[in-house]
Chain A
Amino acid sequence: EADIYQTPRYLVIGTGKKITLECSQTMGHDKMYWYQQDPGMELHLIHYSYGVNSTEKGDLSSESTVSRIRTEHFPLTLESARPSHTSQYLCASSENGGRHVYEQYFGPGTRLTVT
């Protein structure tokens, strides 16, 4: 089991609330990622980071923001949640090894429901 953690695991929140999804890893990985996954659909990359103070947007447009102040921590924030944000959010990190053949480890995910 990979040492990557996400909290909360489940969150039901009302429209307009600000939320932060936490992700931490203890493997010392530089690269970290946030994916969004709807039921029966593929994972979509929404944010990634090469290291501290580095954040980039992924392929899927997202109203969320991320920060990377510490290597082990990569939180995702939604300033004003909407029902369209209802989804599963998966955090991942990858090894610092070879350029392309690297293992990517996923956290257990946060199931977000916005009512």
Chain B
Amino acid sequence: ETGVTQTPRHLVMGMTNKKSLKCEQHLGHNAMYWYKQSAKKPLELMFVYNFKEQTENNSVPSRFSPECPNSSHLFLHLHTLQPEDSALYLCASSRGQGEADTQYFGPGTRLTVL
């Protein structure tokens, strides 16, 4: 138990569906991250929020839309996804961004796009 929870753990969706992934951290951290993890590839950073403000968007397609209502919660809204978006989506948090701080990860959402 890392103090970071994610729901759902598994999600299957069609290309025309709209769904949302949820992340919650109970560690009192100020920075939250979305990563994409594909088999045999490095973790790909998607978005970073620091004190609820988005500070990084690594050229992520607009079909992925993040939302951070407060420092404890992070969402990833999905719409009109492609089969190549199938992957494990990991949420992480750290004390702050701009420091060599340890990131703590949630268990991830395994997403399959049909």
> Are chains A and B native binding partners rather than an unrelated pairing?
no
